[in-house]
Every structure is written in C-alpha cells, then in structure tokens.
Amino acid sequence: MEIKRLSRRELIKYGGIALFGAAAGGVLAGCSQTNFSNAVADGAESVSDGNGGSCAQIPSETAGPYPAHDDSAINVLRLNGIVRSDIRSSLNTGGYTGSSTATGVPLTLTLNLLDVNASCAPLAGYAIYLWHCDINGKYSMYSSGVTSETYLRGVQQTDSNGSVTFQTIFPGCYDGRMTHIHFEIYPSMAEAVDDSYIVRTSQLTFPLATSSSVYNNASGYSASKTNFNKISFATDNVFSDGTAYQMASIQSGNYSSGFVASLDVGIKA
C-alpha cells in the first residue's frame, strides 16, 4: 500500500500514529468506523481569478469508506447507467439487483472545477465521481441491508463552465463523522473507470446550521440527529484541520423543500 504524505498539521496532531495508520489501515468493517485523513501538504494558497474572486486547490482526503472500485470484484465505475445526474435510484445492473430509491431531503449539488494554475479557469471535459451515505448512514453496495443497491453514486463530465450538477438527498450523519460527501476527479470520462487515473480525491461538508435544521426537523433523520450531536468539525478526523475549501455554499432552500448548494473545487491541472 502506498503511504500518502500527511500535512504538517496532521503530523503534529497525530505524530507517528498517523503515519502508521496510513501504512497499516485495512478495509473498514462498517461505515461507523473511521480513518485518519490523507490530506496532502500541497499548499492551499488562494489564487485570484482576475475578477475579484479566487480559488484554491482543494485538500486531498481519504476515499473511504466504500468508493466501490477498490478491488477487482467491485467497480461501480463500469456499471451501465453510472453516468447520470440524478443519483437517487439504484441501477439494477451488473449483479446488483436492488431497485430502491433513496429518500431524504432533496439536494441539488453543483461542483465547479477550476484550474488554480490558470487563474481559476474552468476545467471542461473532466469526470467527477460522487458518492455518499443514505438517510440512515448506510452506503449502497456495502452496508447491511443495502448491499444489492447502487443508489447515491454517479459520474458526470464537467461542462464548458467546469460544472457538474447532481440531484441527490442530504446525507445522513453516521457515528464518528460529520456530515460529508465524497468525490473523485478524473482527467476524462474515458479514464473514469480505473482509480489509477484519479487526479484528486476529497470530501465536502455543509454549514452547521443547515445540517442541524435537517436532522432536527426532517423526517427519517432521527439517528443522524443523535450522531450529529456527538461530533464537531474540531473532532472530525477529516475536517479537524479546516473546512475553508470544502464547505458547500447553500444557495437556497430549507429542510422542507430541499436545498440548492454548490462548491468551487480547485485543482492543479
């Protein structure tokens, strides 16, 4: 297993334990288990876009849990139908016979891919694979009760504005982690079938007030409310070193009608 470089603040925080964990960590047994962050010390300095805005390279984070392309037996990236904008339903293909649709507060999420080496110019033609847990904190294809499902996973190609938009649900909060969504960036759709081509792996999160409003008021999130009240960004093993470049911006909505959110994602192209 490749040992990934840890950021200076992670080395200070975790010391030798973090390095050992990166080298010896195994496959997660359940989605409530946690991993050390694999944030890379690659500099997150803000770059001007020349129009009063800015961008920065998004921190690199662990892909776990359950990217679903981590062994020869499972590769969701090769399933028919995985290229889609609405990821709420299962695909019912490739031996995964589930046909359920994930329920929860609707979420329209746009990711804007920007080149920090070119004054935040949009990056068209890249592929972004996104996945997250359901309302109960379970990951399709892996967690008990949903191993036959393939919902809340999808791939899209960035348009001329460097953007992709996913229709999904607001994720649940499972024990030991703050609310989050995983995503991976690939150079092209053709290469978005093999994790050896990954350009960047990261995670995003949401403002505390947004998550709190969902978990305290929306139907079906009772377990998330309990878990959310036991965790904070300061104690989360991914976001404890900051969320400045991973915090989704809520454009509109509420826990009743759903949310529209976006995140600018900077990479060095």
Q: What's 237's domain CATH number?
A: 2.60.130.10
Reported as a pLDDT band with limits 50, 70 and 90, residue 49 is low
Reported as a pLDDT band with limits 50, 70 and 90, residue 165 is very high
Contacts of 229 (CB under 8 A, 6+ apart): none
Looking at the domain assignment, is residue 78 inside a domain?
yes
Q: Is 106 exposed, middle or buried (0-12, 13-18, 19+ CB in 10 A)?
A: middle
pLDDT at 79: 95
pLDDT at 19: 32
Residue 26 has pLDDT above 60, yes or no: no
Reported as a pLDDT band with limits 50, 70 and 90, residue 47 is confident
Looking at the domain assignment, is residue 9 inside a domain?
no
**Hey, what are 178's tokens?**
């703050």
Residue 10 has pLDDT above 70, yes or no: no
pTM for this predicted structure? 0.84
Looking at the domain assignment, is residue 44 inside a domain?
no
Residue 20 has pLDDT above 90, yes or no: no
Q: Per-residue b/e over 199-213, b at no fewer than 16 CB within 10 Å?
A: bbbbbbbbeeebbbb
Looking at the domain assignment, is residue 36 inside a domain?
no
**How many domains does the chain divide into?**
1
Q: Could you tell me the end-to-end alpha-carbon distance of the chain, in angstroms, rounded to an integer?
A: 26
Mean pLDDT of the region 148-154? 98
Could you read off the pLDDT of 79-133 as tens digits, one per residue? Answer: 999 999 999 999 999 999 999 999 999 999 999 999 999 999 999 999 999 999 9
Looking at the domain assignment, is residue 188 inside a domain?
yes
Residue 6 has pLDDT above 50, yes or no: no
Mean pLDDT of the region 56-66? 92
Could you read off the pLDDT of 214-253 as tens digits, one per residue? Answer: 999 999 999 999 999 999 999 999 999 999 999 999 999 9
Which of 130 and 23 is assigned the larger pLDDT? 130
Looking at the domain assignment, is residue 22 inside a domain?
no
Q: Measure the CA–CA gap between 150 and 152, rounded to whole angstroms.
A: 7
Domain that residue 188 falls in: 52-265
Q: Measure the CA–CA gap between 204 and 127, rounded to whole angstroms.
A: 17
Could you read off the pLDDT of 180-219 as tens digits, one per residue? Answer: 999 999 999 999 999 999 999 999 999 999 999 999 999 9
